[in-house]
Amino acid sequence: MARRFLFVLGSSRSESNTEMLARRAAEQLPADVEQQWISLAEHPVPDFVDLRHDSDHTRPTEGNLALLLDATLAATDLVIASPLYWYSVSASTKRYLDHWSGWLRTPGLDFKATLAGRTLWGVTALAHREGEVADPLVGTLNNSAAYMGMRFGGVLLGNGSKPGDVLRDTEALTRAKTFFATEAPLARFPYDTE
């Protein structure tokens, strides 16, 4: 299957450090790898309503949710490009992920079987210089990938506060050059030690 990367952008501003870093990493992808970029600020999704135990979720057929669902199902590689907000993903990113819970219960979608074996990646910009403060974001993405039976390629971190700062983080720019070239192992929960 030809590789197809979906970049889901979760910043709430247009001049986004996270997006700049993600684009630096994406520049290294071979030309025959398709790329789709969707900004959640430009394509907002509604709050998720949990109907899992009341009635069937139905497949969205129009609007931003349908766009995101179709793009998610079509991606071999899904990149969550969210700034670090309160040590985790941004609210718009989290809202998109919450919809996965509905898609998992939507008859006919086979959402979990479709995503299993595909690869989840993360890119984030943060103001803090010590990257370990992003551990909650990394854990969210790792555990979500493990739950879905996906591969996890890790999270590319970049430092910056105001727009453009990340382009001065030379270590992040160096990491970006090879980030998507790494082999992504099947994700495992932290308790899964075998």
Ligand X SMILES: Cc1cc2nc3c(=O)[nH]c(=O)nc-3n(C[C@H](O)[C@H](O)[C@H](O)COP(=O)(O)O)c2cc1C
Binding site for ligand X (CB under 6 A): 11, 13, 16-18, 83-87, 125-128, 133, 160-161, 163
Return the number of the residue (6 or 126) whose C-beta is nearest ligand X.
126
* Shortest Cβ 105–ligand X spacing (Å): 30
Contact at 8 Å (CB) between 50 and 95?
no
Least Å from the CB of residue 131 to ligand X: 9
Distance in angstroms (rounded) separating the CA atoms of residues 19 and 181: 18
By beta-carbon proximity to ligand X, the closer residue of 126 and 145 is 126
Report in angstroms how near the CB of residue 66 gets to ligand X at its nearest: 26
Look up tokens 């909650």; give the residue. Answer: 136
Q: Which is nearest to 149 in space by CA: 98, 182, 108, 188?
A: 188
Q: Do residues 192 and 169 make contact, with C-beta atoms less than 8 angstroms apart?
A: no
**Nearest residue (CB) to ligand X, 74 versus 127:** 127
Contact 123, 22 (CB under 8 A): yes
Least CB distance to ligand X at residue 124 (A): 8
Tell me whether residue 16 or residue 72 sits nearer to ligand X (CB atom): 16
